[in-house]
Structure 1
């Protein structure tokens, strides 16, 4: 079955061209590109790399570490807390929120001997056990607990049935191509981030592309780097979620209609597949691609008279992570200016 009508990049272009409630300001995207370039010049761009995250474990075998990535990205969705609840987890005296709280919870469990990197554990863990592992410091369960339980079982079963319990075997089957890896991953139901927009099927594929990106980040400098050669890495887009659109709006790259702003400011829920929700995500893909194109132009033109031939390449997926971290570092200012959109979904 062919699940994809438009790729994420094509989807972003189509959605932006037809959007009712959002416009992309290309000039502001170019200003954001300069911020990215400045971080490349001063070296702070390294802070976004996969291995810079202290909540990713060390000392594991390749098989264990790849299964760790697979587990976390299977559960990487919908961390915003419901009204009156909290989702934060403390690990080694540091309180984490959102996705990093999920990482912290698994680090604690792993330290206590839970076999998180074992596909049999993924397939057979009970919902009660998963709840206990992921519960916040305040005692609140993680949002969408049942959906995470179901997704984890499905992912574990897929590894056991198709790949001998090892995500590494799936990676090996992809022949060093990112798009081949995407096609392998979307065989798993919970990763199929497809919806309809104005009579076309679009794909946004946030979690699929994060899994590809994290796998690349883990292996690209090591002895298995040939598995993630990924000559098509530039075909990946940003990871369309609820936080990056927020910071893109803060930076002026996205302009919201008054009607959409009212929805966001009053914390109204948007269903997955709602036209406004699709536009928020699709226009974000387009905006980040505009930033990426400008970054490529600035590099080629030796921005500020600098030769960038010895600097690390920058892709749309890097720009996404840079924006995500920018929002965390400027959370109070960002939240004061523009709210994030609220959609309960397993896809982001």
Structure 2
């Protein structure tokens, strides 16, 4: 990545220079206590990838890895245009956003479409992808053409370099999250990089979530668990999108300027790579890093009597997923407090 700041460095740099978004360290510590409480009561385990019911059962590890690459390649920009809700019903349950994408592909898989084949991904025309992903309300998923391009690009890369099997990319990374991240961002649609105040910064939301999903999904597989031990999992940051910043602001961990708040409340489009947008994403990374560090301090200071050896370790990626899930479970309260920022982008 040459002189590009990695996501952790980018979050630190942006937060120190931000005009419209500030990180509140005291509120970050309050969130850390909530996260640790979820570790103690085991509710954090419910966010692991394999706990997601919207993943076909009976997939081989190889098929599961291709499934993850497919879903994470298309995991962006679900917020609807006015009057065009993106929702998909699967097994009598209506899903929205990313989970609607999962539901749509589950339905396709159940119908016998080989969606875990990179050959299928490479050859699937936009019209077929549109048919598969069409919402219950009859609307196309946002940025359909961009999704088709991204899917073809990922599939072609896997076919050309890894015999069409995503797990072969994982094998070549020798148990390193950083190595897998670098391999993923060879694919152009994962290269989430831009300039902020003269520095080349990166967020890598989709690339990092792909690494996290692969690690979570394969960690309990006897054949491949050693491949994804990822002793360097802590190099990954939160996945800078539009929902997690929203809930961070709800908790007070992010503070928005009056100008930014007004633009969000009128649902004004925030341009991709604008100063406001990059500050929302960068400060979100920094806030979650502070929550992570607070978790580490609090393990001893306030929870020292617990046998932490028997409890799971919490990295920034786990905090991100906890925040994302909290937003879904408390959507009305969060949405009333502050709308998410509306930015059309293939990167989140």
| Common fold by TM > 0.5 | yes
Give the Cα separation in 2 of the matches to 1:175 and 1:300.
33
Q: What's the secondary structure of 2:309's corresponding residue?
A: coil
Q: What's the secondary structure of 1:305's corresponding residue?
A: coil
Q: What's the secondary structure of 1:270's corresponding residue?
A: coil
Give the Cα separation in 1 of the matches to 2:244 and 2:111.
34
Give the C-alpha shift of residue 25 in structure 1: 0.5
Q: 1:4 to 1:219 in 2, by over 3 A?
A: farther
The answer for the alignment partner of 1:344 in structure 2 is: 344
Indicate if the aligned counterparts of 1:3 and 1:194 stay in contact, CA closer than 8 A: no
Segment drifting more, 45-54 vs 234-243: 45-54
The answer for the alignment partner of 1:285 in structure 2 is: 285
Give the C-alpha shift of residue 304 in structure 1: 6.3
The answer for the alignment partner of 1:15 in structure 2 is: 14
Give the C-alpha shift of residue 11 in structure 1: 0.2
Segment drifting more, 307-316 vs 239-248: 307-316
The answer for the alignment partner of 1:187 in structure 2 is: 186
The answer for the alignment partner of 1:115 in structure 2 is: 114
Q: What's the secondary structure of 1:116's corresponding residue?
A: coil
CA RMSD of aligned residues (A): 0.9
The answer for the alignment partner of 1:78 in structure 2 is: 77
Q: Which runs of 5+ in 1 are unaligned?
A: none
Q: 1:347 to 1:112 in 2, by over 3 A?
A: same
Q: Which runs of 5+ in 2 are unaligned?
A: none
The answer for the alignment partner of 1:170 in structure 2 is: 169
The answer for the alignment partner of 2:234 in structure 1 is: 234
Are residue 57 (structure 1) and residue 29 (structure 2) matched? no
Give the Cα separation in 2 of the matches to 1:4 and 1:151.
26
Are residue 28 (structure 1) and residue 10 (structure 2) matched? no
Give the 5 Å matches for 1:219-298: 219-223=218-222, 224-298=224-298
Indicate if the aligned counterparts of 1:191 and 1:207 stay in contact, CA closer than 8 A: yes
**Count of residue pairs brought into register by the alignment:** 347
Give the 5 Å matches for 1:94-173: 94-173=93-172
Give the Cα separation in 2 of the matches to 1:110 and 1:80.
24
Give the C-alpha shift of residue 246 in structure 1: 0.1
Give the C-alpha shift of residue 301 in structure 1: 3.6
The answer for the alignment partner of 1:317 in structure 2 is: 317
Give the Cα separation in 2 of the matches to 1:304 and 1:92.
44
Give the C-alpha shift of residue 135 in structure 1: 0.3
Indicate if the aligned counterparts of 2:56 and 2:109 stay in contact, CA closer than 8 A: no
Give the C-alpha shift of residue 305 in structure 1: 2.7
Please give the TM-score of this superposition, normalised by the length of structure 1.
0.98
Q: What's the secondary structure of 1:303's corresponding residue?
A: coil
- After TM superposition, which residue ranges in structure 1, 4 or more long, deviate above 3 angstroms? none
Segment drifting more, 192-201 vs 262-271: 262-271
